[in-house]
Structure 1
Amino acid sequence: MSESSESIPPPPFAAPPSMDAPYQTGPGYPPPNAGFAPYGYPYPYPMMPMAAELPTGLAITGMVLGIVGLCTSIFYIGGVIGIVGLVFSIIALRKVKRGIGGGKGMAIAGLVTSIVGIVVNVVEVVFLVWLFTTAAHCSQQDSTPDPNTGVSQVDRCMNNSFFN
């Protein structure tokens, strides 16, 4: 071998395809699918999803007050706590609707638990008012037992009011 042939190194890789004909196929090979990117040109990365809005303090407060109002609705204070939770939840839902804050699920949970707590409290108060007015009405009856039946008018009134 001669000295001049050893001094020129071979090319490290083949020349890139021309831009005019990026897909050159040999005889007997079908053309590549034009819907896919050619080898060496990867698809761009997908966009990062938007970060979810963090729940606002109003949504968290509405949910916590709704749960506490529901749990304490049998102690009469739950209705008041439920009303406050309802107000906080409505304000939080309005802010979520306007796009100012997040926590839509928490605000809905606060809204539902507040409403349920208020309804339970109202039903309890209505029942107790009915119970006490009926007892007050029956207590005005004669308490001496009837000689024929042995049952007083108070007992008869209570049985008729509560069990019939």
Structure 2
Amino acid sequence: MKVINYDFENVGGLLQVIAVSPTSFLRIRKDYNAGLNYLELRDRENIISIPVYANDTYIYNEDKEVNDAGDCWNVSIEGVIPKLSSVNNQLMETLERGLWYVLAVDGNGQVHWCGQEDALMLFATNKTSGRSVSERNGTSFTFTCVQDEPTIYISGLEELEA
């Protein structure tokens, strides 16, 4: 009998979001003996890191559905980039005009590879100044895609962060 493992040291939210251009992606290398997946990149030039603002502003969702075409997974990553500013404008426009693979590092340090060759993630934004001083001024964003397989867990992300 197989048993699902419950780990009660469980932290929500995301620690990091990294958008990877399809031109930078080479492959996912699978270690079948260890059951691990490793990300291999061509270059790091077209990779954009989105720092996590606060632990209540980023969320990763992966919802499995069954429809007429079979199984599919609706993947979304949402967050807030604080303060509308010209400093980030060019990177935001690059994200808005492209399709992306996304690495989402959750609160437990698990790295989710989101997007597939035929189902890349779309970046959409909503910019607001807020109505009052107490409201957040910034850009809410969402990466979304519908893929025919679940996301992949990636090991060895430390190499990318170096």
| TM-score in terms of structure 1 length | 0.19
Larger radius of gyration: 1
The answer to which structure has the higher strand fraction is: 2
Q: Which is richer in helix?
A: 1
Give the TM-score, by structure 2 length.
0.19
